Structure 1
Amino acid sequence: MSSILVQVIVGGLLLGAVYALFSSGLTLIWGMMNVINFAHGDFVMLGMYVAFVVWTLFGVGPLVGAPVAALVLATLGVIVYFGLIRSVMRGPMLAQILGTFGLALLLRYSVFWGFGANFQTLPENLVGGTFDVLGIRIQASRLLAGAVALLVTLGLHLLLTRTSLGSKMLAVAEDSTAAQLMGIRPDSMQAIAWAIAAGATGIAGALIATFFYIAPTVGETLGIVAFVTVSLGGFGSVPGALVAGLLIGVIESVSAYSIGAVYKDIVVYSLFLCFLWFRPQGLMGKKA
């Protein structure tokens, strides 16, 4: 295996870790409430713009921008839950779909109004330069993004499986009525889930902004990636989202290297559809 191919694969894994991070928020919301958030990609877009604003005002990179984006998006997540989701959950699935789709449009066109349609970028040298490890050159920005995204995703999994808060959230996901009888407030747990999910998108957006274009429409692209990642990994499974994100990142990168960046999406989505033909519940999902 050539060193260039190894470099491409490593880059794909780092990008895939970021995909996994913002997709884990989507799978958390589905696992908790069976709600599909069509505004999820636009949450990531907002995280990118928060990082851009932080850099514009203070000249600092994602190590400051990511926590700020997490706080801003977590707050937005709570507002969205109490202002919209709690109401549409009482209606049919169509109300949830149209409600979150309308939210996506609201966020997107608000950013259009505030920042314009021009693409924005952060300076390439904002996060170091490149590292040379055993002949493999890795951009510092991608290494930072991938490492932080991987740690946060694993931390989210540990939160859900190893803490009292996670146990309460899983209890609400399993049976909210029984959880309420045990003294757990479903409203609080679901609001916390939205805060965590939105905060994860904020971190991912701030990290990916260092090497990805920033535009109001970028949420469309990232939203599709999130849905494919969650579907491939299995709805409701954070480890599944992690594995699927890494796979998609590697497939994208190797496809772009082998046949050209224009055709990488064809490879990714073709393999995705073929996989779902044989295992529609995803890698770690449960059969309906």
Structure 2
Amino acid sequence: MSLIIATLSGAAVLVPLVVAMNLLFRVSGVANFGAGHFTVFAGSFAAYFASLGAFTSALLTVLATVVASVVAYFTAILPARRANVAPIGLTISTLGFGLVLGWLTHEIFGGAAHNIEPWVGGTVEILGTRVSVQRLVVIGAAAVLLFCLYLIFDRTLIGRTLAAVAQDSELAEMYGVRSRKFELLAWVVGGVGLAAGGLFQASLASVSVDTAPILLVNTFVAAVIGGLGSLAGSVAGAVVLSAGIAVTTEIGFGGKESVVVLLVLAAVLVVRPRGLFGSGAIGERV
């Protein structure tokens, strides 16, 4: 049971991050390599304003991260796109913005690790295993967030228009859809996902500028495992990678997680080069 809880709580942190990366890639063809720094910024921001109360600090964190995401779009993406910079150049631009955001996080909140107090204290026993209530809360919150995103993307006109822009932005423009507005919307929703990931990570462990590269690698690897650009694959990739890390820790090889991450990635790509849920069109873009 401890292995299952560790897998689910690890996946709960990764899922909103992977969804954010996959959504941006699907809509704009850009992999946000600043994702780790966005996550650390969110967790550090929440810890800094924790004295305002859990709800207030979480709300401010989401707003601040969304603002940072919008600023990234207007400064790192839009000008480069108008100059016809290739997608790889846009991806590098996101890394540059992430490094700047990481520097600002260090200067404003300090370089020490930050964590926030559990929203709900105490533990419960599940099948003989003591589990912190906070882990269950994070797992439940991630599931609710994922369900809300599913409703938005699959059951609303906005979601279907996003899908149309992702499929063929030029054709969508011909039908009167302003693809740039929906690309900006994708960055806003991505900012919400990155904020959620930062809140979840800081409430279960801690965040610091030094953890940003690890978070980025885990997010990107989980996205590739599930199928880069596939929202359905976000969950699968996060669960598979989290399970690999949890098993590594369970058998006493803690500290070797980076090796396991690469091994899991290699194993999946040998069987499914485009990822578990990757499509042919997305595979060509990768």
Calculate the TM-score normalised by the size of structure 1: 0.91
Q: Which moved more, 1:187-196 or 1:139-148?
A: 139-148
User: Which residue among 21, 27, 34 is the counterpart of 2:22?
Assistant: 27
Query: Unaligned stretches of 5+ in structure 1?
Result: 1-5
Matches within 5 A, 1:118-157: 118-123=112-117, 126-157=119-150
1:241 aligns with 2:237: no
- Mapped partners of 1:203, 1:121: distance in 2: 14
Deviation digits for residues 107-163 of structure 1 (CA, Å, limit 9, x no counterpart): 11111111222222334x553111112322211221111111122123213311211
Q: CA deviation at 1:64?
A: 4.0
Per-residue CA deviations over 1:69-107 (Å, capped at 9, x if unaligned) read 222212222222122211223212342133112111101
Query: What whole-Å deviation, never above 9, does each CA across 1:50-80 have from its counterpart, x for those lacking one?
Result: 211221x32x23x443333222212222222
Is the Cα contact below 8 Å between 2:72 and 2:94 reproduced in 1?
A: no
| Alignment of 1:269 onto 2:262 | yes
In structure 1, what residue type is equivalent to 2:225? L
Q: Pairwise mapping of residues 99-118 of structure 1 onto structure 2 (< 5 A)?
A: 99-118=93-112
Q: What does residue range 49-198 of structure 1 map to in structure 2 within 5 Å?
A: 49-55=44-50, 57-58=51-52, 60-61=53-54, 63-89=55-81, 90-123=84-117, 126-198=119-191
Residue of structure 2 in register with 1:10 after alignment: 5
Any stretches of 5+ residues in structure 2 without a counterpart?
Answer: none
Contact 1:78 1:191 in 2 (8 A): yes
Root-mean-square deviation (Å) = 1.7
Give the stretch that moved more between structures: 135-144 or 191-200.
Answer: 135-144
Q: 2:42 aligns with which of 47, 51, 70?
A: 47
Contact 2:124 / 2:131 at 8 angstroms: preserved in 1?
yes
C-alpha distance in 2 between matches for 1:126 and 1:166: 31
Count residues with an aligned counterpart.
279
Structure 2 CA distance, aligned partners of 1:94 and 1:239?
24
Q: Secondary structure at the match of 1:210?
A: helix
Identity of aligned residues (%): 24
Using the TM superposition, give the Cα deviation of residue 267 of structure 1 relative to its aligned residue in structure 2, in angstroms.
Answer: 2.4
Mapped to 2, the partners of 1:271 and 1:216 lie a distance apart of 25
Work out the CA distance in 2 between the residues paired with 1:126 and 1:15: 17
Mapped partners of 2:150, 2:211: distance in 1: 27
Task: Note the C-alpha offset of 1:192.
Answer: 0.5
The 1-side partners of 2:16 and 2:170 are apart by 30
Structure 2 distance, partners of 1:233, 1:29, is: 15
Contact 1:69 1:199 (8 Å CA) reproduced: no
Asked if 1 retains the 8 angstrom alpha-carbon contact of 2:29 and 2:87, the reply is: no
Letter in 2 for 1:48: G
CA contact (8 A) 1:32 1:170 kept: yes
**Paired letter, 1:26:** M
Kept in 2: contact 1:30–1:236 (CA 8 A)? yes
1:224 aligns with 2:217: yes
**Which has the bigger relative contact order, CA under 8 A and spacing at least 6?**
1
C-alpha contact (below 8 Å) 1:18/1:150 kept by paired residues: no
The runs of at least 4 consecutive aligned structure 1 residues that moved more than 4 Å come to none
| Contact 1:32/1:193, CA 8 A, preserved across alignment | yes
The reply to whether residue 255 of structure 1 matches residue 248 of structure 2 is yes
